Amino acid sequence: MPPRHRDTDRVPSRLEGRATWLVSRAYARSSGLLNAGFGAAGGGLRGYHYRLLAALAEWGPASQAQLGRQTGIDRSDVTAALTELESRDLIERTADPDHGRRKIVTITAAGVDQLHRLDQVVDGVQDDFLAPLTPAERDRLVTLLTRLLDTPH
Amino acid sequence: MPPRHRDTDRVPSRLEGRATWLVSRAYARSSGLLNAGFGAAGGGLRGYHYRLLAALAEWGPASQAQLGRQTGIDRSDVTAALTELESRDLIERTADPDHGRRKIVTITAAGVDQLHRLDQVVDGVQDDFLAPLTPAERDRLVTLLTRLLDTPH
DNA sequence: CATTCAATGTTGGTCATGCCAACATAGCGA
DNA sequence: TCGCTATGTTGGCATGACCAACATTGAATG
């Protein structure tokens, strides 16, 4: 039998079973779905905005540096994303009375509403993303990834 | 007990068990390790170059469009990455005698050597990346991700 | 055979995520 | 008081991924 000549749906064997390769493919798919969903229903918001709104809704007002640490987003990117959220009136920035430079960021009612809409999008994407797996397999995958990431490194 | 005030090592509960979130965190870690490894030992090459060299070494000479389909890299990015590989004499581009526009890309001996060096890097990164998991867990993770990605979507 | 269509390589953009450096300023600790 | 750290901001870079347009070529269709 001659070698197969199909161009696509094949992966060099060097990559095939590599965890880093699989994770990068999974991420490409996941972020594609997420961007499509955010683009369609998110009013131009992206992952950074969702993370920040989620942190504010869950833990209440915080300084920008605090938000950065909570969400794993760089301080400079926090600044930019908050400026966009502020221009849409989804958050408010007020000066911290006890600290000259610090600003306290608060989510607005509209921000909470928007967050709920984004939650819907994210939920839908989970289903699409995990569609090939059974519920038990989905749980196992989540557990393994959680263990992989929880361990300090 | 007052609420905890630690800034870091926490994740909004909305994100915590989400597969897309975990995958994005895993990818951030994995690509960080990979970039560090490639930067240290890869002679300025990146993931695209590795994928292309791997495909050429495994399946032999191919046209650029073929390479793009094999590796999942866009035609335009293939062009750019091949130009860089060519300038390092890791690949060669020759005109296809049977086809005017098409170019046949071949990996050179130096390219094969470089690929072997990159293999070492990638192998080392797998170990770092998967360190928190037992061998059995690593296998399960790879199996689950493979199943997740194999299914046509 | 002629015309259309698809494939090819290339150029030149865009976007999102993640970093890093530098800076001015503010607060804190030694 | 002096020096260190934290803070918000600006501006930049790298990587991966994608897209549009173009000229050219081969192949398919009428």
- Let me know if residue A38 belongs to a domain: no
Could you tell me the two tokens for B62?
A: 């191919």
* Euclidean distance between CA atoms A36 and A125, whole angstroms: 9
- Let me know if residue B24 belongs to a domain: no
- Let me know if residue A124 belongs to a domain: yes
In this predicted structure, the answer to whether residue B79 has a pLDDT above a threshold of 60 is yes
Give residue A45's identity as a one-letter amino acid code. Answer: L
Centroid of chain to Cα B40:
16
* Euclidean distance between CA atoms B116 and B121, whole angstroms: 9
Query: How sure is the predictor about A16, in pLDDT bands with cuts at 50, 70 and 90?
Result: confident
Q: Which residues of A56-73 are buried (b: 16+ CB within 10 A; e: fewer)?
A: bbbbeebbbebbbbbbeb
Q: What is the CATH number of the domain that holds B71?
A: 1.10.10.10
- Let me know if residue B53 belongs to a domain: yes
In this predicted structure, the answer to whether residue A9 has a pLDDT above a threshold of 90 is no
Cross-chain residue pair A20–B33, CB shorter than 8 Å = yes
CA–C1' gap, B85 and D16, in angstroms: 18
Counted domains in chain B: 1
In this predicted structure, the answer to whether residue A44 has a pLDDT above a threshold of 90 is no
Residue from the list B26, B54, B58 with its beta carbon closest to the beta carbon of A23: B26
Summarize pLDDT for B20-53 with one digit per residue, the tens: 999 999 999 999 999 989 888 778 899 999 999 9
- Let me know if residue B125 belongs to a domain: yes
Identify the pLDDT of residue A2: 32
DSSP-based three-state secondary structure for A28: helix
DSSP-based three-state secondary structure for B90: coil
* DSSP letters spanning B2-40: PPP---SS---HHHHT-HHHHHHHHHHHHHHHHHHHHHH
Query: How sure is the predictor about A123, in pLDDT bands with cuts at 50, 70 and 90?
Result: very high
In this predicted structure, the answer to whether residue A74 has a pLDDT above a threshold of 90 is yes
**Percentage of chain A exceeding pLDDT 90:** 73
Range of A102's domain?
47-128
Summarize pLDDT for B106-146 with one digit per residue, the tens: 999 999 999 999 999 999 999 999 999 999 999 999 999 99
Identify the pLDDT of residue B151: 73
In this predicted structure, the answer to whether residue A4 has a pLDDT above a threshold of 50 is no
- Let me know if residue A115 belongs to a domain: yes
- Let me know if residue B88 belongs to a domain: yes
- Let me know if residue A67 belongs to a domain: yes
Cross-chain residue pair B17–A142, CB shorter than 8 Å = yes
Identify the pLDDT of residue B126: 94
Query: How sure is the predictor about B9, in pLDDT bands with cuts at 50, 70 and 90?
Result: low
Cross-chain residue pair A12–B58, CB shorter than 8 Å = yes
* Euclidean distance between CA atoms A142 and B16, whole angstroms: 10
Summarize pLDDT for B82-100 with one digit per residue, the tens: 999 999 999 999 998 888 7
